[in-house]
Amino acid sequence: MLKKIFFSIVALSAMAMAESTYGINVNNNDVELEAIVDSKTYTNLQTGSTSYVADANYIYDKDNKNSLIGIGAGATNKIEGLEGVNLTVGAKVMVSSLHNEDFVAVPFMGKIDYKMPPLLYNIPPVSIEGKVLYAPNVLSFGDAESYTEMRAVANMEVINNVKGYVGYRNIETSYKNAGDVLFDNSFFAGVKIDY
């Protein structure tokens, strides 16, 4: 059910807006699909230099046979005085289940990314990003108590509009009855395609 919802939203997002990124990352235990759609191509959605983003992701944990789906929106802008640094703030809806307990949380999201200036010797473009999501008890529903996610990612454009990336993520879900559950704590590698 969650997979159908995720793929439907990704397909609708791709039709609605032209500038988007799709990615997949893996490690020994997890696979994640992600999509980010940006409003930059539509001038009537632009208010100054701010652009609006919609993102969705789906993580499947093979060991625990558990999945997590997230759908969110945010606003992105450059940080004044810091060349190449962008800040995104927004919120996501995170849905999961564990041992028949339903988990729904609406964490606030903060993301900062830095695109390094062109390097010497024709080295491909490189960027780094950090992302934090947090939902306290008041923004957690069903059997959820809280949600915390932290990520760090390094990207390199290996082919025009294709990025290879490596990263680390830590995702903690807290349930009313099951207590704190470490959903994921791992390194990963993947590829992103920009349209």
Residue 4 has pLDDT above 90, yes or no: no
Q: Which residues pair with 184 in a beta bridge?
A: 171
- pLDDT value for 125: 86
Give the span between the Cα atoms of 188 and 170, in whole angstroms: 11
Residue 17 has pLDDT above 50, yes or no: no
For 26, the token pair is 């893996």
Residue 106 has pLDDT above 90, yes or no: yes
Q: Which residues pair with 90 in a beta bridge?
A: 74, 109
71: domain CATH number? 2.40.160
pLDDT in tens, 37-95: 887 756 555 557 788 899 999 999 888 788 999 999 999 999 888 888 999 999 999 99
User: What is the 8-class DSSP label of residue 139?
Assistant: G
Q: Regarding predicted confidence, which is higher, 72 or 97? A: 72
- pLDDT value for 160: 87
Q: How confident is the model at residue 190 (pLDDT cuts 50, 70, 90)?
A: very high
Q: Regarding predicted confidence, which is higher, 48 or 3? A: 48
Task: Indicate the number of domains in the chain.
Answer: 1
**Whole-model pTM?**
0.85
Residue with tokens 């069903």: 142
133: domain range?
2-194
pLDDT in tens, 131-176: 999 999 999 998 899 999 999 999 999 888 899 999 999 999 998 8
Give the span between the Cα atoms of 179 and 1, in whole angstroms: 25
Residue 13 has pLDDT above 60, yes or no: no
The residue among 5, 151, 166 whose CA lies nearest residue 71 is: 5
- pLDDT value for 123: 77
Q: Regarding predicted confidence, which is higher, 13 or 60? A: 60
The residue among 70, 146, 148, 79 whose CA lies nearest residue 114 is: 79
Pinpoint the alpha helices (H) of the chain. 2-16
- pLDDT value for 65: 83
pLDDT in tens, 18-31: 478 899 999 999 99
